[in-house]
Amino acid sequence: MPTIELRRIKRIKAESAYLRNQHASDVTSQFGEDGIISKILDLIGRTNCWCVEFGAWDGKYLSNTWNLINNEGWCGVLIEGAYDRYAALNDSYRLRAGQVFVQHGYVGWQSNDDLDSYLSSTPIPNDLDVLSIDIDGNDWHVWSALKNYRPRLVVIEFDPTASNELYFVQDADASLNQGASLRAMVELAQGKGYELAATTYTNAFFVLTEEFPKLNIADNSIDAIHESHIEIQICQGYDGTLFAAGHLMLNWHGIPLVQEDFQVIPAALRKYPDPGQKP
């Protein structure tokens, strides 16, 4: 058996990743997002105390905004596509009508279902303080389509199995749940006037470029802030054998991967071609 190991080099800088390392904590969030959001808001300020989240589920489960709405008294727009979850969400905030706006639907990227169209029916300000996007797939396309609102802090899910070097964006297709890489999110953010501030296991935090100096992060390059630790790297032998190392697991299905799963050529055909012969 060949020897193949993925020996990662840590390039994270403590001074760049301090928001996660020192302030991550959960009230209802999954990977410390609540604490990071709170600290970023301490640094850049709370200007209007409005937030948006979708898919919002029941408003509490793994929510990045529940703490703001319920413990800090924020106003918000919560959008959920599954009707039973929407109904539970709507019931939870019935007494906050006029402050918390619960909407039923799936946010997309076309003019009839983009986030602009959902928010336009509410009194939320264009410069809302926090936007949380977590829809397990088309997150990149939804944020890309947002034109009329400029949140001061955006929390958005990315695919944690992608390396820091990989640019990947799934097709804009509501039937797909594939996601986008952190590098793709960073480039989209920079094009919209945002800078990377922090990451957790699967969420990236972006603040407006003009607010970013308040965070005192000298180097916010991907490697300085985020350690990719569940990606797979592949190399190929001269005979056509593919070798994989790293997180050998279908991450969301819990299915282990073995070397044979990566092979394109049958074992009998894996031979080094004679360089003196024409193909």
For 54, residues 6+ apart whose C-beta sits below 8 A from its C-beta are 78, 79, 80, 81, 107, 115, 132, 133, 134, 135
Does residue 93 sit in the same domain as residue 154?
Answer: yes
Q: Looking at the 3D structure of the chain, how many domains does it have? A: 2
**Residue 3: inside a domain:** no
Does residue 98 sit in the same domain as residue 182?
Answer: yes
For 278, residues 6+ apart whose C-beta sits below 8 A from its C-beta are none
- What pLDDT is attached to residue 67? 96
- What pLDDT is attached to residue 279? 55
> 248 is in which domain, residue-wise?
232-269
Per-residue pLDDT of the chain (279 residues; tens, 9 = 90+): 789 999 988 899 999 999 999 999 999 999 999 999 999 999 999 999 999 998 767 778 889 999 999 999 999 999 998 899 999 899 989 999 999 999 999 999 999 999 999 999 999 999 999 999 999 999 999 999 999 999 999 999 999 999 999 999 999 999 999 999 999 999 999 999 999 999 999 999 999 999 999 999 999 999 999 998 899 999 999 999 999 999 999 999 999 999 999 999 999 999 998 776 665
For residue 122, give the nearest of 148, 84, 152 by alpha carbon.
Answer: 148
CATH of the domain at 174: 3.40.50.150
8, two tokens? 């990662």
Does residue 141 sit in the same domain as residue 238?
Answer: no
**Residue 11: inside a domain:** no
Does residue 99 sit in the same domain as residue 211?
Answer: yes
- What pLDDT is attached to residue 278? 61
**Residue 94: inside a domain:** yes
Does residue 74 sit in the same domain as residue 206?
Answer: yes
Task: Let me know the angle formed at the C-alpha of 200 by 73 and 66, rounded to the nearest 5 degrees.
Answer: 20
CB atoms inside a 10 Å sphere around CB 273: 11
Does residue 148 sit in the same domain as residue 26?
Answer: yes
Does residue 75 sit in the same domain as residue 153?
Answer: yes
Question: In angstroms, what CA-CA distances link 28 with 31, 45, 61, 69, 259?
Answer: 9, 22, 6, 12, 39
Does residue 179 sit in the same domain as residue 259?
Answer: no
- What pLDDT is attached to residue 16? 98
* Chain position carrying tokens 């209802």: 28
φ, ψ for residue 89 (rounded to 5)? -65, -45
Does residue 104 sit in the same domain as residue 129?
Answer: yes
**Residue 277: inside a domain:** no
Does residue 72 sit in the same domain as residue 138?
Answer: yes
pTM: 0.94
> 118, 146 in Cβ contact below 8 A?
no
Does residue 148 sit in the same domain as residue 22?
Answer: yes
Does residue 107 sit in the same domain as residue 40?
Answer: yes
**Residue 66: inside a domain:** yes
**Residue 278: inside a domain:** no
